[in-house]
Structures are given as structure tokens and as C-alpha cells.
Amino acid sequence: MSIRVRYFGSLREKMGRVDDILAAEDIDTVSDVWKAVSEGEYLPDRILCAVNMDYADPDAPVKDGDEVAFFPPVTGG
């Protein structure tokens, strides 16, 4: 399977990259995605998650072809 993982705001700078393409087979949830891109870390409470451009919980399922995004609290307006 293939999942595109995108980063925004300060998290993009912390990750040092704008996105990743995950090809791993053992990924079921948003949390799993985070672990895969962050060398096994738990998802920090303050990081927000989206699947296919809608907000999602860490335990939301992901599937092949999904776009998953991680970012800090929003500061627009």
C-alpha cells in the first residue's frame, strides 16, 4: 500500500521535509502512520491529524491511497 504523509507549519521544519510516501504493509491507523515516519514515537497530544483533508483522530483507520497530514494547532485569522 501507499500513503502520502504531509507536514505543515512548524512541524514541517521539525521533520525537515514536506512529505513522505509510506509503502509499509502493517499500518492500520493514523497513529501507525506517525510511528512509521517518526522512528517509533508516540503522537504528541498537540499535533493535529487529517485523513484526506478532514480532521481525524489518532485511532482513525487509514487505507491504501490515503493522504495523511500532521500539523500543529492552527493560527489563521
List residues binding another protein (CB under 8 A): 6, 8-10, 12-13, 50, 53-55, 69, 71-77
Which residues have a Cβ under 8 Å from the Cβ of 38 and sit 6 or more positions away?
A: none
Quote the least distance from Cβ 40 to another protein, whole Å.
25
Quote the least distance from Cβ 25 to another protein, whole Å.
27
Quote the least distance from Cβ 72 to another protein, whole Å.
7
Q: Which is nearer to another protein, 42 or 55 (CB)?
A: 55
Which residues have a Cβ under 8 Å from the Cβ of 5 and sit 6 or more positions away?
A: 19, 20, 21, 22, 33, 37, 67, 68, 69, 70
